[in-house]
């Protein structure tokens, strides 16, 4: 399962995991960087400073995905 791990950059303590977004869209052409980042804005709010946030595309096996979602 394809997923995205979102992290915030912290100059003092490194990186902090914000959350994991499993990719559920079946149409690959709908997946853009902007559509992925839109999720972070939705979770953190429109006023959040997302300039220090980045994501990493990861592949999770089904058992790992269930543990992280559960």
If one counts every other C-beta atom within 10 angstroms of the C-beta of residue 30, the result is: 8
What range defines the domain where residue 59 resides?
2-69
- Encode pLDDT of 26-35 as tens digits: 888 888 988 8
- The answer on pLDDT for 11 being more than 70 is yes
Contacts of residues 6-15 at CB distance under 8 Å and 24 or more positions apart, as own/partner, are: 6/39, 6/40, 6/53, 6/54, 6/55, 7/53, 7/54, 7/55, 7/56, 8/52, 8/53, 9/52, 9/53, 9/54, 10/52
Mean pLDDT of the chain: 84
Q: Which residues contact 29 (CB under 8 A, 6 or more apart)?
A: none
pTM, two decimals, is 0.74
What total of structural domains would you count in the chain?
A: 1
């Amino acid at each position: 399962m394809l997923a995205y791990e979102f992290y915030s950059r912290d100059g003092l303590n490194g990186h902090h995991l914000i959350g994991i977004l499993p990719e559920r869209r079946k149409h690959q052409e709908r997946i853009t960087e902007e559509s992925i980042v839109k999720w972070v804005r939705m979770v953190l709010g429109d006023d959040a400073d997302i300039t220090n946030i980045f994501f990493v595309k990861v592949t999770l096996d089904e058992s790992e995905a269930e543990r992280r979602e559960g």
